[in-house]
Amino acid sequence: MRVLGHLSKGTFRIAQSACDAVLAHGQVAVFLSKATGEAAAVEYTSGDYQFALRRYAPHLVGVYRDNLSDNSGLFEQLLDDLAHHVAAARKSVQ
């Protein structure tokens, strides 16, 4: 599991770290805890990948893959998905 950072540092930084993780590992699942604000990525090749998908499903932002040829929209997709996940979390708290 790769720690991406805390939500207090902003979704932009988390999205950049997640994008770097995708490019480094090929495919990752990105999680953002609604309770703690911590974000993490789990590589597809990790032995904990399937376990993390089941265990932390409520915190799953998405699964992202390196297209190898065109990753032009990867960062924007991550940023959008993180913003949507955060908005949904805030709604559930209120």
Burial class (CB in 10 A: 0-12, 13-18, 19+), 85: buried
pLDDT of amino acid 35: 86
Q: How many domains, in total, are found in the chain? A: 1
Residue range(s) defining the domain that contains residue 68: 2-93
Q: Under a CB-based contact definition with an 8 Å cutoff, are residues 52 and 29 in contact?
A: yes
What is the distance between the alpha carbons of residues 64 and 80, in angstroms, rounded to a whole number? Answer: 13
pLDDT of amino acid 88: 78
Stretch 69-83: mean pLDDT: 90
pLDDT band at 92 (very low <50, low <70, confident <90, very high): low
With a cut of 60, say whether residue 94 has pLDDT above it.
no
With a cut of 50, say whether residue 32 has pLDDT above it.
yes
pLDDT of amino acid 34: 83
